[in-house]
Amino acid sequence: EIVLTQSPDFQSVTPKEKVTITCRASQSIGDGLHWYQQKPDQSPKLLIKYASQSLSGVPSRFSGSGSGTDFTLTINSLEAEDAATYYCHQSTNLPWTFGQGTKVEIK
Amino acid sequence: QVQLVESGGGVVQPGRSLRLSCAASGFTFSSHGMHWVRQAPGKGLEWVALISDDGSQQYYRDSVKGRFTISRDNSRNTLYLQIDSLRAEDTAVYFCAKDLTTLAIIFDYWGQGTLVTVSS
């Protein structure tokens, strides 16, 4: 099973600050890495697909990068509505797995 | 717009069974793979099962193989998850999720979830 390890587990950030979340895979997964945002008491929302591909309706301050084993989600100029837990997910190998999540809190 | 509405959760004793349903609308249901993903209270996300667009292929995580059965009725636009021999560790919110394509394994829409609590 491919293990995805996110860092940090928790981040407290002031508005307009830049946020960087990393996701490391236990083996190479190419670009089969996707990012989700889950706000409290809500279902997850797809933010980025295939490591760096943006999605319609997702604010442009969200971007992704990486390939192989190391990936990054960047939130430029954090807004209050971005308070959430962020998960990476790999679609390359069964069983399809998620990272443990990174909780972003607004100071 | 895409809507996924789960139902069927509840409090169940260990060893009993439950069937979850997910009613889909707003897209061509028969053209997309469908998944169940669960989230234990206060924990992260865990993929559970996948069924292909035509229902011919099913995939499960090891911990639920032989106990969970995913199925679909494309004439009713409904996804199901039959859960047998429930265990305490199956306690979670169960989300149905739409695949981006037939089998991209990317969850582009999620339902609101239905809570399954396994307790005596």
Classify burial at A50, counting beta carbons within 10 Å of its beta carbon; exposed 0-12, middle 13-18, buried 19 or more. Answer: middle
Q: What pLDDT does B69 receive? A: 98
Please give the Cα distance from A27 to A2 (Å, whole number). Answer: 7
Q: Copy the structure tokens of residue B45.
A: 């996300």
Percent of chain B at pLDDT > 90 equals 100
Encode pLDDT of A49-82 as tens digits. Answer: 999 999 999 999 999 999 999 999 999 999 999 9
Determine the residue type at B109.
Y
- Partners of A95 on chain B (C-beta within 8 Å) are 47, 61-62
* Average of per-residue pLDDT across B65-69: 97
Cross-chain residue pair A96–B108, CB shorter than 8 Å: no
Please give the Cα distance from A60 to A39 (Å, whole number). Answer: 18
Q: What pLDDT does B89 receive? A: 97
Residue with tokens 């394994």: B105
Strand A10-13 to strand A102-106: parallel, antiparallel, or no bridges (unpaired)?
A: parallel
Cross-chain residue pair B46–A34, CB shorter than 8 Å: no
Encode pLDDT of A15-51 as tens digits. Answer: 999 999 999 999 999 999 999 999 999 999 999 999 9
CB contact at 8 A, B33 and B107 = no
CB contact at 8 A, A26 and A33 = no
Cross-chain residue pair A96–B113, CB shorter than 8 Å: no
Q: What pLDDT does B105 receive? A: 96
Q: What pLDDT does A69 receive? A: 98
- Partners of B104 on chain A (C-beta within 8 Å) are 91
Please give the Cα distance from A7 to B96 (Å, whole number). Answer: 27
Q: What pLDDT does A85 receive? A: 98
Q: Using alpha carbons, select from B25, B26, B30 the residue that is nearest to residue B51.
A: B30
Please give the Cα distance from B68 to B60 (Å, whole number). Answer: 8
B106 touches chain A (CB under 8 A): yes
The alpha-carbon gap from A49 to the nearest alpha carbon of chain B, in Å, equals: 8
Contacts of residue B59, Cβ cutoff 8 Å, sequence gap at least 6: A94, B49, B50
Q: What pLDDT does B111 receive? A: 98
Q: Cα–Cα–Cα angle for B33, B35, B37, nearest 5°?
A: 160
Name the residue facing B105 among A38, A96, A101 (closest C-beta): A96
Exposure string for A1-38, b = 16+ CB within 10 A, e = fewer: ebebebeeeebebeeeeebebbbbbeeebebbbbbbbb
